[in-house]
């Protein structure tokens, strides 16, 4: 088959196909590099410097070892080609016959996507969650999951099949995972509800009570409660999720521990949002 294919395709097509395959098998380098940039605070460093920074600035702020600045440049090039950072030639670069220190030759900035990783309501916590070893490793079980019989009581998620418990249960057992899950859910919910309020705020008109079903720690519900102080907001989630969050209620925000399949507190409207799903 391969020999026949080799005779059918042009050398150009062959090279393009091999490059495409490499792109796929190395796809994880893109997401792990993004997580690395977030872990090292690179988007925040660019933001703090007024929106642009040289490689030398970034290496200094991110405390990259001087011997590895060339590797940092490669990672920045990958993330620039992937739409996270912009690159522009720094003023004066290239005017000196190549004598310029090339760590100062390029200014890195943030694309619109990159800007969602910094500042108010930023989404940077979703990177350490989605690129967490427990989440990523569950995808190695995809062939077994696809070919196995569903459990009699309903489908078992890929995560459950790989780790023997749900993500919420894992969050209870592994504090590190619990932290990245909580932070990702909070960031996702807060931004999502802000967007809904800005873009579709009229849907809240005339509503005097809302119950947010499966609201986790209620981060998104809190955004609604703050924007509409006259709406009585209720968070409903399982006891293990409501737990400590319940202590942080507000005048128009309360928490109810319960199972949505048993009962849902009465309200004018029900909010059901599912986010941060791998």
Does position 172 interact with ligand SAM (CB under 6 A)? The reply is: no
Does position 237 interact with ligand SAM (CB under 6 A)? The reply is: yes
Catalytic residue among 47, 65, 163, 277: 277
Pick the closest to residue 51 from 88, 83, 81, 95 (CA basis): 88
Does position 260 interact with ligand SAM (CB under 6 A)? The reply is: yes
- Interface pick for ligand SAM out of 29, 207, 273, 278 (rule CB under 6 A): 273
* Rounded distance between C-alpha atoms, residue 129 and residue 113, angstroms: 18
> Is 277 labeled as catalytic in the residue annotation?
yes
Q: Which stretch binds ligand SAM (CB under 6 A): 44-52, 63-71, 115-123, 230-238?
A: 230-238
Does position 153 interact with ligand SAM (CB under 6 A)? The reply is: no
- Interface pick for ligand SAM out of 53, 216, 232, 245 (rule CB under 6 A): 216
Q: Which residues of 213-229 are buried (b: 16+ CB within 10 A; e: fewer)?
A: bebbbbbbbbbbbeebe
**Nearer Cβ to ligand SAM, position 44 or 271?**
271
> Residues 6 or more apart from 126 whose CB is under 8 A from it?
184, 187, 188, 276
- Interface pick for ligand SAM out of 214, 243, 249, 278 (rule CB under 6 A): 214
**198: β partners:** none
> In angstroms, what is the minimal distance from the CB of 251 to ligand SAM?
22
Q: Residue count at the site for ligand SAM (CB under 6 A)?
A: 18
Number of Cβ within a 10 Å radius of residue 58: 24
- Interface pick for ligand SAM out of 60, 62, 165, 238 (rule CB under 6 A): 238
Give the x-and-dash track for 23-62 against ligand SAM (CB under 6 A): ----------------------------------------
Rule CB under 6 A: which residues touch ligand SAM?
168, 185, 188-189, 214-216, 236-238, 241, 259-261, 273-276
């Amino acid at each position: 088959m391969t020999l026949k294919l080799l005779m059918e395709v042009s050398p150009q097509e062959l090279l393009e196909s091999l490059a495409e395959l490499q792109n796929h098998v190395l796809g994880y380098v893109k997401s792990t590099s993004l997580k690395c940039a977030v872990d090292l605070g690179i988007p925040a460093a660019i933001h703090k410097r007024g929106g642009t920074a040289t490689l030398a600035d970034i290496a200094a702020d991110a405390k990259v070892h001087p011997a590895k600045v060339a590797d940092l440049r490669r990672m920045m090039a990958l993330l620039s080609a992937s739409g996270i950072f912009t690159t522009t030639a720094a003023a004066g670069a290239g005017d000196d016959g190549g004598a310029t220190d090339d760590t100062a030759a390029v200014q890195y900035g943030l694309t619109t996507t990159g800007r969602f990783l910094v500042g108010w309501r930023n989404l940077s916590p979703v990177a350490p969650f989605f690129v967490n070893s427990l989440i990523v490793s569950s995808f190695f079980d995809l062939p077994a999951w696809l070919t196995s019989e569903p459990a009699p009581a309903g489908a078992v998620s890929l995560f459950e099949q790989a780790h023997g418990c749900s993500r919420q249960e894992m969050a209870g057992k592994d504090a590190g995972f619990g932290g990245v899950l909580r932070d990702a859910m909070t960031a996702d919910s807060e931004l999502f509800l802000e967007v809904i309020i800005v873009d579709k705020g009229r849907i809240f008109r005339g509503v005097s009570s809302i119950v947010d079903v499966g609201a986790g720690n209620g981060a998104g519900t809190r955004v609604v409660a703050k924007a509409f102080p006259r709406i009585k907001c209720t968070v409903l989630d399982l006891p293990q999720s409501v737990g400590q969050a319940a202590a942080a209620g507000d005048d128009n925000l309360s928490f109810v521990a319960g199972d949505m399949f048993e009962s849902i507190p009465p309200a004018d409207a029900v909010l059901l949002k599912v986010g941060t799903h791998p």
